Amino acid sequence: MIADALAGGFTEAPVQSARAFREVLEAMARPGTIHRVTGARPPLPVSVAAGVTLLTLCDGTTPLHLAGEADTPAVRDWIAFHIGAPLVAADDADFALGLWADLQPVSRFRIGQPDYPDRSATLIVEVDRLANHGPALTGPGIETATWLSLPETRTFRANRALFPLGFDTIFTCGDRLAALPRSTRVEAI
Amino acid sequence: MSEPGSGVSGADAYNFAYLDEQTKRMIRRALLKALAVPGYQVPFASREMPMPYGWGTGGVQVTAACLVPEDRLKVIDQGADDTTNAVSIRKFFSRTAGVETTEHTAEATLIQTRHRIPETPLRKGQILVYQVPIPEPLRFLEPRETETRKMHELEEYGLMHVKLYEDIARHGQIATSYAYPVKVEGRYVMDPSPIPKFDNPKLGDNPAIQLFGAGREQRIYALPPWTKAVSLDFDDHPFQASKAPHDCDLCGAAHSYLDEVITDDRGGRMFVCSDTDFCTGRQAAGHRGRLSPQEGL
């Protein structure tokens, strides 16, 4: 049990986190594009991509919320050893990890303040399917339009309406990830 | 020479790209928020770098947080690859990150720039990192950070238009010729760093990712690709991307941004492309300007 918690982190953190971040950066800069990342072997049910994202962005200064199925003793141990992020309730979190259903209601998460919109949560949402079809996305980072399989549209449209406030989302599925920043307009379905 | 990031091996071993991992994570989080709110200045805990403020400490930290070993880095200072600032930053990263460097815009994957956007159009897959001295476009109009932050919050940019209007009242035209403010996606007014306003049209709808780092002022902001960045102007005084009304004296380019070079003490001068890579590329392709050396001499 403990041995599992000690394994599965980056073996060469400076270079692995640099490559991983570059993919996350491209994902956030180009909403809807799907990127492959490697280097983490987190305990189930956490996906490789979610593990890589946590290792790359989180540390002892970033309160993290584990929602529903993601909140297991094995996951807590792994995060405690590799990341050291304090585990907190949803409304205090900088980052949150879980299934879309488990993260509900997302209105609990911080959306920033009018003078500091950056003080908002980033949701890492584990999804079963990540593909470039579904609702149309437009906005900064997208030349004309793109498509992404979203768990729903209503919440993301409401989040866009709060701009420049709002949360930002990273979808993870296996070793792939895509991002949906608050600036993206989501087509109504 | 050890592999990048392979850990300690001798006194010359730096962590990959110089900064420690916790610092890079902090900068990376700021970069993601900056991309999510285009044009908004995200505060970050800027570190002391082994170079003085004003030499690109903000840009260097952003570059360090973005570099991967596979990158090919280009650094320009006012368009030139061969000035002190550009050369020393290139050497800094080739030593601390082991990345390849280049002077060719088309070959580079990451370009750190001081006060220019390359003439060669950027493409998808490239990142342009700007060195920013004063990130706050309203700072010279309102010195208090508490007030400028409130002005951004309320989208209260009337003061900036008054400033541009006063330019017109005094000079008959908008006299601001560099660091010309832009409005990003109809929301935040942003300082594009002291690039000449000639470069402003390249800010918006650019296929590359544009990141801005201000080290002393501790701010990071960003323009994602294909983002609208509109230069502020008036209906009867539309924005004009101006340049010296000459052709390059070395390569003959009519549409590149020019530096004026004084050649003697009797009023002699020449105009040359500020983008050295663009100019040498054109000369290599056979283009000639007014003062080009004669063939065969």
Summarised one tens digit per residue, pLDDT across range B105-164 is: 999 999 999 999 999 999 999 999 999 999 999 999 999 999 999 999 999 999 999 999
Confidence check: pLDDT of B76 > 70: yes
pLDDT at A157: 95
* Cβ-based neighbour number of residue B103 at 10 Å: 18
Q: How confident is the model at residue A88 (pLDDT cuts 50, 70, 90)?
A: very high
Cα B198 to its chain centre, rounded Å, is 13
CB B120 within 8 A of CB B276: no
Least Cα separation, residue A182 to chain B (angstroms): 6
Q: A–B: how many Cβ contacts below 8 A?
A: 121
For residue A186, tell me if it sits in a domain. Answer: no
As for the ipTM of the complex, it is 0.96
In chain A, how many domains are there?
1
pLDDT at B8: 45
pLDDT at B34: 97
| One-character DSSP codes across A68-79 | GGG--HHHHHHH
Confidence check: pLDDT of B6 > 90: no
Strand partners, B271: B260
- At residue B167, φ and ψ (nearest 5 deg) are -55, -50
Q: How confident is the model at residue A37 (pLDDT cuts 50, 70, 90)?
A: very high
Mark yes or no for CB contact A118/B37 under 8 Å: yes
For residue A126, tell me if it sits in a domain. Answer: yes
| One-character DSSP codes across A71-118 | --HHHHHHHHHHT-PPB--GGG-SEEEEEHHHH--GGGS-EEETTEEE
Q: Which residues of B, range 150-169, sit inside 8 Å of A by Cβ? A: 150, 152-153
> Counting Cβ atoms within 10 Å, is residue B268 exposed (0-12), middle (13-18) or buried (19+)?
exposed
Of B29, B37, B150, the CB nearest to A183: B37
Q: What angle do CA B50, B56, B60 make, to 5 degrees?
A: 70
pLDDT at B263: 93
SS3 at position B113: strand
* Cβ-based neighbour number of residue B177 at 10 Å: 12
* Cβ-based neighbour number of residue B176 at 10 Å: 15
Mark yes or no for CB contact A17/B24 under 8 Å: yes
Q: State how far the Cα of B264 lies from the Cα of B268, in Å rounded to an integer.
A: 5
For residue A81, tell me if it sits in a domain. Answer: yes
Q: How confident is the model at residue A4 (pLDDT cuts 50, 70, 90)?
A: confident
Which residue has better confidence, B293 or B113?
A: B113
- Contacts of A113-119 with C-beta under 8 Å, sequence gap 24+, read A113/A165, A114/A165, A114/B153, A115/B149, A115/B150, A115/B152, A115/B153, A116/B43, A116/B149, A117/A164, A117/A165, A117/A166, A117/B37, A117/B40, A118/B30, A118/B33, A118/B34, A118/B37, A118/B40, A118/B42, A118/B43
Percent of all residues in chain A with a pLDDT value above 70, rounded to a whole number: 98
Across the beta sheet with A146-147, the strand order is: A146-147, A136-138, A185-186
Of B28, B38, B149, the CB nearest to A140: B38
For residue A189, tell me if it sits in a domain. Answer: no
For residue A188, tell me if it sits in a domain. Answer: no
Read off the pLDDT of each residue in A44-48 and give the average, rounded to a whole number.
94
**B17: nearest CA in chain A?**
A14
Annotated catalytic residue, options B56, B58, B66, B279: B279
pLDDT at B132: 96
Closest CA to B31 of B210, B230, B216: B210
| One-character DSSP codes across B117-138 | --SSPP-TT-EEEEE-S---TT
SS3 at position A126: strand
Q: What is the mean pLDDT of chain A?
A: 94
Mark yes or no for CB contact B21/A26 under 8 Å: no
Q: How confident is the model at residue A3 (pLDDT cuts 50, 70, 90)?
A: low
SS3 at position A65: strand
Domain extent at residue A150: 3-180
Confidence check: pLDDT of B10 > 70: no
Mark yes or no for CB contact A118/B225 under 8 Å: no
Q: How confident is the model at residue B7 (pLDDT cuts 50, 70, 90)?
A: very low
Mark yes or no for CB contact B66/A21 under 8 Å: yes
For residue A187, tell me if it sits in a domain. Answer: no
Strand partners, B117: none
Report the CATH number that the domain containing residue A68 is assigned in CATH.
3.40.50.11310
Read off the pLDDT of each residue in A96-117 and give the average, rounded to a whole number.
96
